[in-house]
Every structure is written in C-alpha cells, then in structure tokens.
Structure 1
Amino acid sequence: MKTLTTTILTLLSIWTSYSQTAQDYTKTGLDKYYSADYEGAIKDFTKVIALDPTGTGGYLNRANSKFNIQNYYGAVSDYSKVIEIDPNFEFAFYSRGTSKEEVEDFQGALLDYNKAIKIEPDFEIAYFKRGSLKINMEDYRGAIEDYTKVIELRSGDSNAYTNRGYSKILLNDFYGGIEDCNSAIELEPNNINAYLNRGNAKFELGNYKGALEDYNKTVELDTNVALYVYKRGLTKLLLNQNNSGCLDLYKARDLGMEMAINAIENFCK
C-alpha cells in the first residue's frame, strides 16, 4: 500500500511538473513576444507544443510570432494546425487568411475570410480585410458590400467609409465616393486618404477648385509625399496657377516621382 501511494504521488508530481512547465513556457514566450523577441518566443512556443501537442495555444502563438518575422509560410502551417485541432476557431481562419495575402495567395485568403465570417457572422475585422482584398482583386462591388457591413457593425469606423468611398470612385460613382469621404473626414478630420480620394473624385467631376482644396490638405498633413504634391501641381496648372503648379511638379520630381519629369517637360519649359 505504501508503494502504491508513493507511485500515485510520483505520477501526480510528474503531471504537475508537466502542466506548470507548459504554462511557464507560454508565459516566457508571451513575454518575449510582447518585447518583440519573436525568435525567442518561437523557441518557447515550440516547447509548449512538444509538451501539449493537442492544444491550440502553442501553435497559435508560434504562428503569430512567425507572422511578425515575415515567415508567412510557417505561419500558414501553424494556423492550419490550429484549424485541424479546432475547425471552428474563426480567428485562426482569419489569421491564416492574412498570412496567405502576404504571399499573394489571394484566392486562398478569400476562402479563409469567408470561413471566418461563416463561423462568426459579426466578425468585423474579417469583413474589413476581405473588403481590402476584394479591392486588390478588382471586385469593387464586393468590397462595397463588406465595408457596408463594417459600418453597420461599427458606424464610427472612418477607414471603412474611406475605403468604401474609394471603391465607389473606382466604379465611377464619384458623388457616392465624395459622400463617404465626407463621412470619414467628419469622423476623423485628419484622415489623409479621405482627402486624397475626395480630391480625386472632385477632379474627375471637373471641380478643380474643390480638388485643390483637398490636395492642399493632403500636403498640409504630409509635405513629403510625392503623389500629393504632384496631384496638387497638376490641378494648379488646370486653374492657370502655372508658377505655383510648376513648383509643385519640381518638388514631386525631387521626391522621386518620375511622372513629374514628363509633366515638367510638357508644362514648365
């Protein structure tokens, strides 16, 4: 009986050591992760996996670490293992989708976002990422649907209005695009992309004064982006502000925009 009791206590001691060790490696791994020591975190999470191969935590944390060192294929592999263990883990599908995007597996990413949303119909960030992916895939109407869902779930998302407006502009719905950019700017007065998109829409409508106001704002917010200065310069030329417009084109050239060189040759000689 004494031998049996000793054996039971020994087994309990081994089990306790096992659990605490996995937890300890998880803790140190997370400490390293949040200190941006991703390589060190990967080593610790690999030890967690060795101790607890049927749990999702080690694989998920290691995948996140791999993503942060741009080991996207490794991240996809670990997220896939999480999904194998828990097929209804919506965040794993979402995260695998973001990794697939990074390696330009756009169709695979789309399928993962679809699955994440099917599992969790109110998964706001998945709609946002899927909308951005659809823009890259030139499915602008699909992108509009996804950003509309984001706005439905969280009406204060300035970037959702900005991106939906951009999608509308790409479909030549310039007034709809302007309306969405207005909403974005109301929510976030320094939303530079909203000013740029609204300026582009006004430019396409021939409202060059309105476009110039928006391009002025983009340059005010960031004076060293060649695109903003270039667009402002071209708009000034259309408003017969030739000297100021050419100065902008020269600056855009100096900031590295090759298109500005052709514009200078055509309008500023």
Structure 2
Amino acid sequence: ILRMDSTNADALYVRGLCLYYEDCIDKAVQFFVQALRMAPDHEKARLACRNAKALKAKKEEGNQAFKNNNYEAAYQLYTEALTIDPNNIKTNAKLYCNRATAGAKLKKLNQAIEDCTSAIKLDDTYIKAYLRRAQCFMDTEQYEEAVRDYEKVYQTEKTSDHKHLLKNAQLQLKKSKRKDYYKVLGVGKNATEDEIKKAYRKRALMHHPDRHSAATPEVQKEEEKKFKEVGEAFTVLSDPKKKIRYDNGHDLEDDGSFDGGGKCLLWFFFFGWI
C-alpha cells in the first residue's frame, strides 16, 4: 500500500504498530509521526505514539538507573513501565527480565524467578530470561530447576559457555544429593584446618554415645548416627586429598580410600593424638 501511496495514514499507522509490537519502538514512532502528519486527527496513531514514547522513556530511565547501580530505582521504573501497555508482549518480556536482574541485585531472588517466568510465558524463546532464572535457581540452591533451564538453553544454543553452565549446575545437583560434611561439622566451606578441628571436637563431644547412655533407645540410636557422621565428615575434611575430591564433587569411594567411619580418628582425638 505504501509503495502505491506513501501518504496513506492508516497504512503508516499499521506499519508502525507492527514495528512497535516487535519491540522496534524508535522506528515505530517514526511511522506514527508520519501518520499524524498525513492525518492530524488519527486518534489511534496518536495513542500508539504516546504509548510508544512513554514506554521507551520509562525503560531507558530504568536502564540508566541500573547502570548507576541504583537498583531500587531501576526496579520501580521497570515496574511502572510494565503498566503502560500490557499488550506489548516482546517489550514487556524484556522489562520482566530487566526487573528480574535488578531484583537479583537486591537479593529478591524468589521475585526475580517469578519475573523470569513471566518473561518466558510471554516469549518462550527468550534465552536471556532462561539464563537469568537459572542463575537465580543456582543462588537459591534449586539445582534441579537450574539444570532444566540450562538444558533448555544448551539445546537452543550449543555454545561452550552454555555447556559449561549446564555442567556446573549438574555438578552442584550431584553434590547437593550427598551428605554435606561442612554442615555436619557446622563450618563454612572456607573453614581452616584449625576451625575444622575445633568444630569436630565440639560436635564429637556433643553426640558421643557415653553422653547419651541414659537416654531412650531412639535418642541413643540417633545420637550414635550423628556421632558416626561427625567421624565421616572429619575423615574427609581433615585429609587434603579427600577434601579436594569432595569439594570437586567426585565420589570418594572411587579411589578406594574412604572407610566411611572415622572411628579411629575419633579415639585418636579423644586421647589427644590429634
């Protein structure tokens, strides 16, 4: 139509509308402006032009606030932008993802996950939203969900970076399903050798069977189980080679050196040999 009549206001408006819904807002505005030049009373073009300019301005404000590390302001601006035109699916998908990024910076991880999910519902090919949600799942230790999202990304774009992210998520999932020896001893993953020994002494004394000899059989059984886990944890975390294998997610049984008990270590400890 525009080849035949470049002054057709309706055609200019519809062309602009198509660009607007493809998130080409700058080009869309140009066509809306042209339509209004041809027909100043074109109400639909006027409304679309106003929405497009408002959406562009609010999104850019949010982006600038984010670049300035003002994440609270960015989060609020993206929220305001999302109310301008619920029908603009592609732009709103990006706004949800942007808000998720700001939310993650503010440690609003569950809300960030929800925003990514909203973005994906609007555009299920939006790789950036899958990547952002996967990272939030990793940060909240929801490793199965993170693996699912990274698998989706890798199936779509088989890059070395995406493969690395998927493998790391799979490793963290594997590690999450075994005993957390750091948690057993009540220390952080960066604990020093002395901190591990002190924590071991404290937990071993706490759960030693002799301390619970007057308890019910159920309690005795539970404390004996915990006492054994303390021994296992110290057996691994006090041995540099086993600790490295454990931290890297390897199965300790693979090298044939893990006895799983740590009883001798416990007695050595109590007699002052450790």
Per the normalisation by structure 2, the TM-score is 0.48
Q: Larger C-alpha radius of gyration, 1 or 2?
A: 2
Per the normalisation by structure 1, the TM-score is 0.49
- Larger RCO, structure (CA 8 Å, separation 6 or more): 2
Larger helix fraction of residues: 1
